[in-house]
Amino acid sequence: MERFRGKAALVTGAAGGIGAAIVRQFRAEGAIVAVADRDVSGVEADAHLPGDLLDPAYADALPTAAFDALGALDIVINNAGVITRGPVTATADSDWALSLGVNVEAPFRICRSAIPIMAAAGGGAIVNVSSCWGVRPGPNHAVYCMTKAAIASLTQCMGMDHAHENIRVNAVCPNEVNSPMLRTGFARRGFDPDTAIAELGKTVPLGRIAEPEDIADVVAFLASDAARYMCGSLVEVNGGKPVG
Ligand SMILES: NC(=O)c1ccc[n+]([C@@H]2O[C@H](COP(=O)([O-])OP(=O)(O)OC[C@H]3O[C@@H](n4cnc5c(N)ncnc54)[C@H](O)[C@@H]3O)[C@@H](O)[C@H]2O)c1
């Protein structure tokens, strides 16, 4: 299937677990893709735009850089993210700044720059990666959950505000995904990632946690014409597992 033939996409967090799967899928379906992450040297793509999303000038300029490199910008996937653990009483100023900076401010800046480019071209699609933990409270990750709720809310608002410009803004909200974010978290806490992920899978009604491709498929759907009437939707992808 070549749903994205002739389309140009920008994907942030492209070197991570879910981001790499999104890039592979878009390219396999005919898109040309610009990849953004701190280090994109190992990612096969049509344009490489490395940088730090905590740098406001970099985030502001990314959509124009992608447009210049690809000759168009039809799709933006705000996927980069960081997770910080703990209740607010264990949250350092640095965790607050990091979480807000990467998970909220950077996608805000990227959307603010991308929307006029897309509007001038007659439309486009933006998919933000929120989390089930952004639509429902998750235990012991207060600031992470808040940032994912913020991007979920921004998605709903932008989905309404820019539909008249033929720009569809939606979000995917995964529960646990087998990615470096989850695996390094287990390793840091002294667990073997494979064992921990197998155990976690038993808590999911479908019998396993998500693989990055399970999320990439839904991102691709939301970016495709099959989702042409969806604006501001938050799509949970959770294998039947509630948050808690
Ligand atoms: N893994 C999960 O269980 C899970 C669940 C729900 C939502 N999510 C969300 O999915 C998205 C992708 O996460 P993942 O699981 O693939 O994690 P990951 O850690 O594998 O990938 C995240 C990527 O974001 C990049 N990134 C982080 N800070 C950056 C910065 N300052 N500048 C540029 N790039 C930066 C990282 O380098 C990394 O490649 C995130 O938004 C995450 O919150 C993940």
Question: Cα of 18 to ligand 1 centre, how many Å?
Answer: 7
Residue of 11, 12, 18 with the most ligand 1 atoms within 8 Å of its CB, for mutation: 18
**What's the pLDDT at 99?**
98
Query: In angstroms, what CA-CA distances link 154 with 4, 55, 146, 195?
Result: 26, 20, 12, 36
Atom in ligand 1 nearest the alpha carbon of residue 184? 19
**What's the pLDDT at 64?**
98
Question: Does residue 185 have its Cβ closer than 6 Å to ligand 1?
Answer: no
d(C-alpha 232, C-alpha 230), whole Å: 7
**What's the pLDDT at 63?**
99
The 234-237 sheet, strands edge to edge: 47-48, 32-36, 8-12, 75-78, 124-129, 167-174, 234-237
Atom in ligand 1 nearest the alpha carbon of residue 15? 39
Residue of minimum CA distance from atom 38 in ligand 1:
16
Nearest to 237 by CA among 140, 212, 85, 225: 212
**What's the pLDDT at 50?**
98
Is 144 catalytic? The answer is yes
Residue of 24, 37, 235 with the most ligand 1 atoms within 8 Å of its CB, for mutation: 37
Atom in ligand 1 nearest the alpha carbon of residue 83? 43
Per residue of the chain (244 residues), give pLDDT as tens: 799 999 999 999 999 999 999 999 999 999 999 999 999 999 999 999 999 999 999 999 999 999 999 999 999 999 999 999 999 999 999 999 999 999 999 999 999 999 999 999 999 999 999 999 999 999 999 999 999 999 999 999 999 999 999 999 999 999 999 999 999 999 999 999 999 999 999 999 999 999 999 999 999 999 999 999 999 999 999 999 999 7
Neighbours of 39 (CB within 10 A): 10
Delimiting residues of CATH 3.40.50.720 domain(s) in the chain: 8-175+212-234
122 burial via Cβ count (<10 Å: 0-12, 13-18, 19+): exposed
Chain centroid to CA 221: 14
Asked if residue 126 lies in contact with residue 117, where contact means CB atoms within 8 angstroms, the answer is no
Catalytic residue among 26, 67, 133, 144: 144
CATH class, domain 8-175+212-234, is: alpha beta
Mark 176-214 as b/e (b = at least 16 C-beta within 10 Å).
bbbbbbbbeebeeeeeeeeebbeebbeebeeeebbebeb
Q: What is the pTM of this model?
A: 0.98
Residue of 35, 55, 109, 181 with the most ligand 1 atoms within 8 Å of its CB, for mutation: 181
Question: Cα of 164 to ligand 1 centre, how many Å?
Answer: 31
Question: Does residue 82 have its Cβ closer than 6 Å to ligand 1?
Answer: yes
Question: Does residue 38 have its Cβ closer than 6 Å to ligand 1?
Answer: yes
